[in-house]
Structure 1
Amino acid sequence: MTGPAVHPAEAMAEVLIDELIRNGACEAVLSPGSRSAPLALALHEADRTGRLRLHVRIDERSAAFLALGLAKASGRPVPVLCTSGTAAANFHPAVVEADLSCVPLLVLTADRPPELRDTGAPQTIDQIRLYGGAVRWFCETGVPERRAGAVAYWRSLAARAYGHATGSHRSPPGPVHLNIAFRDPLVPTRSGSLHPWPEPLAGRPEGEPWCRTTPHRTAEGEPLPATERGVLLLGDGCSDPTPLVAHAQRAGWPVLAEPTSGGRYGPNALTAYPYLLRVPGFLDAHRPDLVVSAGRPGLTRQQTALLHAARAHVVVPGTYPADPARTARAHVHPCASPQADADQADSDNAAPPPSRWMASWLRADRAVREALDALLDDGPAPTAPGIVRALARRLPPGGLLFTGPSLCIRDLDQHLHAPTGTPGPRVLANRGASGIDGVVSSAIGAALAHGGPAWALMGDLTLLHDHNGLLLGPDEPVPDLAILVINNDGGGIFSLLEQAEHTGPFERIFGTPHSTDLSLLAEATGTPYTLLTRSQQLTDVLSGKGLRLIEVRTDRTRDTELRAALQAAAGRAVASMRPPGRIGE
């Protein structure tokens, strides 16, 4: 039995994309180019017939981070395609982020055939293992040829790549790289003659994937150590915080949860812990016997100090088992299922009152939060901490917030509320490599995958670094995304670091003022723009529709002084209620 009359490159592209869709791909991103034409046409056809949704971006770096955001929010591998040469190199930052944050990404790079490599042919670089160890799996697929057995090879290749990306082959989820060489002609020509393919191109019956893979289970469950003086520390990449939060509630442990962990909820979740850990003497009086950590805690140096101070540290491996202080004594996979733990927590109506240990953490957290709120409520003009607090208060449960790095996520960590019941808004960020690149594109991708109202929070340098992400063509899907930009005309985080002591060169090489008019940038990209001058305006501007840019201008020096005042207020609040000695002994 033979297949249709088709060009080899066309056959491979059709089969490869079909098999990725059968495995679960429902979004794809491409940047235009010649060498990638067969795959681009196959993706366009899949989009036209409603089998997946295609997104086109002219900038490869923006395209890759858009795919990263789509994959991060949906949990599904997203194919991203480019032509040969430096186009593939521009995918590298997003590949690194996907590796470190364990986001499933299918990187498809078109390439010249072997006979044209190392000949000076244009748009040709060495793409073999271009991303090094940052990918879970690499395959040089070979040039498509008209021969029997090719269809089975292409379909098993696509299924294997999808499985590696989802973490089904004894490794966490992450990026996979397929380097696909095509010979000319890249697409069928009118003058060229097509011959029947030597076998059918179709896959398994009823749309089944060629080979189904399931996530690999790394270990059987075991109980967490029991102790009264415990702390649960949750960072980015915590795959499922629900059973851990339930365990902390039963054990009477405070929950210190970064915004992107998904674990800042429930009666034991603290909202002012970054301030508490910086108060002199607080950690000495609250030294835990055990810290259980999950994900990648790393927003503050004080988290590392907590890990060093604990008598024991146990890591619960998630998508990324992190031990930043190298203090872990064990990696433990909790034995209870998330649903069982949640059901047990809900049914435990006879829970004992908080121990002296838990009560002391809660009392200090409330005292510090009241002091912080009182100070922030007094400011008439917008400040970075104040506007972040206002944004956090207005995010609805189930909403999506994508936050940039540096001060934005740290301000959010210090002022995000903790619902007493179910989890609040979903917070995402590129915390793998924690760079400022690609945040606009990642936020747009996450909002598109989310499918409802979404918000993004970032600084001015982060916006400028990826302003190409705002370039959406007239036929592209548009997210319902409000991008809130805190513009302090430079890099505000350096004002809090040791570099600030070098006052002479500081402003030029660390502060890096740019004096860019963001309203003109918005106008150039056709993005609706609002300048917010009072915090009270926030509710109105956040309730809009479509992709829009909201700018808040703050003063770096004044924000730095405010942050120092907030920490001083936290110290006074703790001093006013702190008993002598070590809590719980």
Structure 2
Amino acid sequence: MTSTALARQVVTALIEAGVTEIVVAPGSRNAPLSFAAYDAAAAGLVRLHTRIDERTAGFLALGLSRNHRRAAVICTSGTGVANLHPAVLEAAHADVDLVVVTADRPPRLRGTSANQTTDQVGIFGPLVQTQDATGPLELLTTGPVHVNVPLDEPLVPEDRWTPELTPGRPAEHLRATVQVTIPTGPRTVVVAGDDAGPPARVLAERAGWPLLAEPSSGSRTGENAIRTYRLLLGGELGDRVERVVVCGHPTLSRPVSRLLSRADVQVVDTPARGVWHERPFPVDERLVVVPGVEQSDDPAWLEEWRTADRSVSRQLDALLAAEPDLTPHEVAGAVAQAFEEGALLVVGASSPIRDLDLMVPRYRVGARRKVLANRGLAGIDGTISTAIGAALARPDSTRSLALMGDVTFLHDSNGLVIGPGEPVPDLTIVVVNDDGGSIFSMLEQGAAAYAEQHDRLFGTPHGVDLASLCAATRTPHLRVTSLPELEQALASPNGGIEVIEAVVRRDNRRALDERIRSLRP
């Protein structure tokens, strides 16, 4: 079989497996695949995207796949394949239907020193399904799939392809719908981590339990959601918790981690997605179905949490309002207020998602707000590209926003390199710029004993002029230093991709965090 015929066979299999978006990174060895993808896009069977950087391409495809689309990314052989690994690992741990198609040298050149030749079969490890495209392809499975395609010369077609095929539907992620009843009685809270979904909220409301929901849980709505739960867990209310029902993938909070590790707390675990289902904390009961309750619990327990939450929320807002300079928490709060019904928000790792966690109000149930974050491995990789992909895959959003730190922004600044004619969403990217990595100042490394080494090893000030960086890619940029400026900028989106740089301090971050953590009802 010629390389052109094989490439067309692979692209046919992608479309029949429900792939609607194809991202291509340029290369010679993957030329047959690229030509086939171009012809499929010309026939209206897929939407084509091109990127010059494989890592950016991988996260763009990941973002596209996070919003009920199925995307494939195509790259050439050699190091280009390795640059897809961060996106593939995130997809594996978050259970995202990403398809990775890598061009390879023909079998006769494997194991030799031929140019751009390495061992690509199974390169992503045992967590990812790998298929060598020398036989029938099975792409209907869920989760990330790696298709390695050996291609020999000639690498260009002799004709245009007019594909005649029927697009398929991606395999569905089916959540269990049968319920098992959890008895009421012990003082219980529901912890909703990333991708917990509405069942966590429904359970908390039916039982009358406090809901401790991360921003990307899909559960941070309704009257049971406790805004300042992270702070309350450090006090008397947290000490009195007797049982925790865990939903989704909780990753944000050390107070939650400590709660789940306590010997005097019963932990009930519910189904989680991703390649690893074992938890890093002791589990007393593991359910394989969605939990429910027959009746509400003692309403006094929930009311104590609500009362305490109102008190600490008022104190937190007053503390932040009294600060002379714009704080990262106020930036997160402004984004949370601009996050209107029907909108999309993609949040970067490290400090911004934790700051947002303290500032998100109780949103109305059923308002179609969608918060996404790469919490499978919680890396800062590819956040701009993930946000662009997610926005492109949700064109009916009333608005698309992204919130991230400056180091996260710099880590994926190539995501702003988008060629003419490429699909571009309306996306407002808010960058909290404190000239370095402030999250480390709040951890053990930020203690006074390590002050001499801290900035060089962890703070990593960079001094990058973000305005000039944005100008290089013709991305509109606005720098703000106060809350009114930020609120005005958020209220006036201009369309396309634009960057709002919110400048905050880093030198006082540890002290500010200590003052916030000391708040009590």
**Counterpart residue type for residue 195 of structure 2:** G
> Which among 229, 236, 239 is matched to residue 194 of structure 2?
236
Cα distance in 1 between the residues matched to 2:288 and 2:187: 18
> Which among 355, 359, 365 is matched to residue 299 of structure 2?
355
> Which among 290, 294, 297 is matched to residue 250 of structure 2?
297
CA deviations 1:256-312 (Å, max 9, x no partner) are: 000000101111110010111123x3322x222x21111111211110122234532
**How far did 1:530 drift?**
0.2
**How far did 1:436 drift?**
1.1
**Residue 157 of structure 2 aligns with which residue?**
188
Between 264-273 and 380-389, report the one with greater CA deviation.
380-389
**Does the residue aligned with 1:444 lie in a helix, a strand or coil?**
helix
> Which among 68, 74, 78 is matched to residue 81 of structure 1?
74
> Which among 369, 372, 392 is matched to residue 313 of structure 2?
369
- CA 1:70 to 1:558, structure 2 compared with 1: closer, same or farther past 3 Å? same
Q: Is 2:241 aligned against 1:287?
A: yes
- CA 1:550 to 1:42, structure 2 compared with 1: closer, same or farther past 3 Å? same
Cα distance in 1 between the residues matched to 2:366 and 2:238: 29
**How far did 1:540 drift?**
3.2
**Residue 147 of structure 2 aligns with which residue?**
178
- How many residue pairs match? The answer is 512
> Which among 449, 452, 458 is matched to residue 404 of structure 2?
458
Cα distance in 2 between the residues matched to 1:218 and 1:566: 39
CA contact (8 A) 2:446 2:510 kept: no
CA contact (8 A) 1:531 1:550 kept: yes
> Which among 262, 272, 280 is matched to residue 318 of structure 1?
272
**Residue 331 of structure 1 aligns with which residue?**
287
**Does the residue aligned with 1:179 lie in a helix, a strand or coil?**
strand
Q: Is 2:234 aligned against 1:278?
A: yes
Cα distance in 2 between the residues matched to 1:111 and 1:353: 59
Between 499-508 and 555-564, report the one with greater CA deviation.
555-564
**Counterpart residue type for residue 312 of structure 1:** Q
**How far did 1:359 drift?**
1.1
Cα distance in 1 between the residues matched to 2:120 and 2:364: 51
**How far did 1:33 drift?**
0.5
- CA 1:369 to 1:424, structure 2 compared with 1: closer, same or farther past 3 Å? farther
**Residue 496 of structure 2 aligns with which residue?**
546
Q: Is 2:378 aligned against 1:384?
A: no
Alignment of 1:218-257 (within 5 A): 221-227=179-185, 229-238=187-196, 241-257=197-213
**Counterpart residue type for residue 259 of structure 1:** P
As a proportion of its length, which structure holds more helix? Answer: 1
**How far did 1:13 drift?**
2.1
CA contact (8 A) 2:184 2:297 kept: no
Structure 2, unaligned runs of 5 or more: none
CA contact (8 A) 1:75 1:103 kept: no
- CA 1:70 to 1:352, structure 2 compared with 1: closer, same or farther past 3 Å? closer
**How far did 1:247 drift?**
2.3
**Does the residue aligned with 1:233 lie in a helix, a strand or coil?**
strand
**How far did 1:462 drift?**
0.7
**Residue 457 of structure 2 aligns with which residue?**
509
**Counterpart residue type for residue 410 of structure 1:** R
**How far did 1:561 drift?**
2.4
**Counterpart residue type for residue 153 of structure 2:** D
**Residue 527 of structure 1 aligns with which residue?**
475
Cα distance in 2 between the residues matched to 1:220 and 1:282: 32
Between 412-421 and 511-520, report the one with greater CA deviation.
412-421
> Which among 4, 7, 13 is matched to residue 7 of structure 2?
13
TM-score relative to the length of structure 2: 0.92
CA contact (8 A) 1:234 1:258 kept: yes
**How far did 1:218 drift?**
7.0
**Does the residue aligned with 1:282 lie in a helix, a strand or coil?**
helix
CA deviations 1:416-463 (Å, max 9, x no partner) are: 111243356311111111111111111111111122421111111111
Percent identity over paired residues: 42
**Does the residue aligned with 2:273 lie in a helix, a strand or coil?**
coil
CA deviations 1:34-62 (Å, max 9, x no partner) are: 11111101111122222111110000011
**How far did 1:392 drift?**
0.8
CA deviations 1:79-116 (Å, max 9, x no partner) are: 10001111111111111111111111100000000111
**Does the residue aligned with 2:389 lie in a helix, a strand or coil?**
helix
CA deviations 1:61-84 (Å, max 9, x no partner) are: 110011111111x23331100011
**Counterpart residue type for residue 151 of structure 2:** F
Alpha carbon RMSD of aligned pairs, Å?
A: 2.5
Structure 1, unaligned runs of 5 or more: 1-6, 143-152, 167-173, 195-199, 345-350, 575-585
**How far did 1:17 drift?**
1.6
**Does the residue aligned with 2:377 lie in a helix, a strand or coil?**
coil
**Counterpart residue type for residue 505 of structure 1:** Q
**Does the residue aligned with 1:133 lie in a helix, a strand or coil?**
coil
CA contact (8 A) 2:75 2:102 kept: yes
Cα distance in 2 between the residues matched to 1:299 and 1:388: 15
**Residue 43 of structure 2 aligns with which residue?**
49
Cα distance in 1 between the residues matched to 2:19 and 2:206: 40
Alignment of 1:127-206 (within 5 A): 127-135=120-128, 137-142=129-134, 154=136, 157=137, 160-161=138-139, 163-164=140-141, 166=142, 174-189=143-158
Cα distance in 2 between the residues matched to 1:395 and 1:187: 47
**Residue 33 of structure 2 aligns with which residue?**
39
**Residue 306 of structure 1 aligns with which residue?**
259
**Residue 147 of structure 1 aligns with which residue?**
none
> Which among 56, 62, 69 is matched to residue 56 of structure 2?
62
Q: Is 2:519 aligned against 1:564?
A: no
Q: Is 2:204 aligned against 1:262?
A: no
